[in-house]
Amino acid sequence: MPDLALAPCPSYAPEDCRAALEQVIAATRGLDWVKPGMRVGIKANLVAAKKPDAAATTHPALLEVLCRMLRDRGAVPVIGDSPGGLYTALALNRIYRATGMDTVDAELNADFGVREVSLPEAKIAKTATVTAWLLACDGVINFCKLKSHGMMGLSCAAKNLFGTIPGTMKPEYHFRYPKPEDFADMLVDLDEFWKPQLHLVDAVVAMEGNGPTAGAPRPLGLVLAGENPHKLDLVCAHLIGLDPKTVPTLCAAVSRGLVPERVEALSVDGDWMRFVCPGFQTISERSGLQFQNLMKGKGGALFSGFLRRSIAARPGVEKSLCVGCRKCEQICPAKAITMKGGRPVISRGTCIRCFCCQEFCPKGAMKVRRPPLARLLVR
């Protein structure tokens, strides 16, 4: 059995979605594990109240086909997520309607309870508070959307399971793990806890640029499936031109032996190279530039630290788009944003570069900015 499979899916037409999903699922684990009466939780990406054509969320056309396949086996599909913000029926019902989930023939999660769980295989997050609805399911399918991401570079299979942390607690996790490498280890800990039976990637239309919520749609025309989220992410990073060494979750997974360093080591059903998208706009901090050996001693350590801080990407406000809604101020876990003259001002000394403000800005006014030194070094 291959590590993962991919199939062309030129549009969200029902016939294209069904052909693609049937092909990739059959080529990997299949659905023989699904038994009559099972409740199968589908953890979709419902990050914000965006319409399906915005390419921010898992498309309802694909979910409709998957749910039909599960119902044909006698299972009960349940779709859910916990995006940033209030984890309540009122908030989620608004997102269900905006993202088209209310058109899918499936049960939409209405259990907004949370549970404290132990993560026995964790490296950094030994406990976590998670959404209870998915714990009550008999099986889990992780159905993500391929997007660029401000903090992690890539939002795909591994990152999608952060949606099992209740929305109002997400800033706390960002504050608890402010370093990208620690945050990535926490995400991998979550992946290892949930161990979904199947991971699916909606890459029919991906999101490039100011992702994961305010970027631009970019057609790729394919669907992917596999049992290992990191192997899927490794291929998807190459599809959009991201160096895997700049994706913290992939670095964390490589260090644990969960995925090989090189994509050539994977067994892939389908020719992924024909879907590589030249010029895909990504967000990369170039985390491989560590400057660790420029000078010796304490002075060298201080100088290297200065350079690392000088090239790190950071959020910035595009004033022409900002409407002064205060969402960034409210969601910032470090309390680094204050409003002055109706516009947000970011305290650079307090900012932990979690990019929550960029991710959840409803107008896309928060952008990932790269300092002049970083741009010079890349050139």
Would you state the pLDDT for residue 302?
58
| Runs of H (alpha helix) within 179-291 | 180-194, 229-239, 248-255
Would you state the pLDDT for residue 315?
87
Report the alpha-carbon distance of residue 206 to residue 185 in Å, rounded.
25
253, 154 in Cβ contact below 8 A?
Answer: no
Domain ranges for the chain? 4-275, 297-378
Report the alpha-carbon distance of residue 343 to residue 338 in Å, rounded.
8
Would you state the pLDDT for residue 178?
87
297-378 topology per CATH:
Alpha-Beta Plaits (3.30.70)
* DSSP SS3 for 37: coil
Displacement of CA 64 from its chain's centroid (Å): 21
How do beta strands 127-131 and 114-118 pair?
Answer: antiparallel
Would you state the pLDDT for residue 224?
98
Would you state the pLDDT for residue 206?
98
Report the alpha-carbon distance of residue 361 to residue 327 in Å, rounded.
6
Would you state the pLDDT for residue 368?
78
Q: What is the pLDDT along the chain (379 residues), one digit of tens a residue?
A: 999 999 999 999 999 999 999 999 999 999 999 999 999 999 999 999 999 999 999 999 999 999 999 999 999 999 999 998 899 999 999 999 999 999 999 999 999 999 999 999 899 999 999 999 999 999 999 999 999 998 899 999 999 999 999 998 998 898 899 889 999 999 999 999 999 999 999 999 999 999 999 999 999 999 999 999 999 999 999 999 999 999 999 999 999 999 999 999 999 999 999 999 999 999 865 443 344 444 455 665 555 555 455 546 778 898 899 999 999 998 888 899 999 999 999 998 888 888 888 888 988 898 877 665 544 444 4
How do beta strands 366-369 and 314-317 pair?
Answer: antiparallel
4-275 topology per CATH:
Rossmann fold (3.40.50)
Please give the model's pTM, rounded to 2 decimal places.
Answer: 0.86
160, 62 in Cβ contact below 8 A?
Answer: no
Query: CA 29 → CA 4, 23, 200, 233, 329, distances in Å?
Result: 9, 11, 12, 18, 44
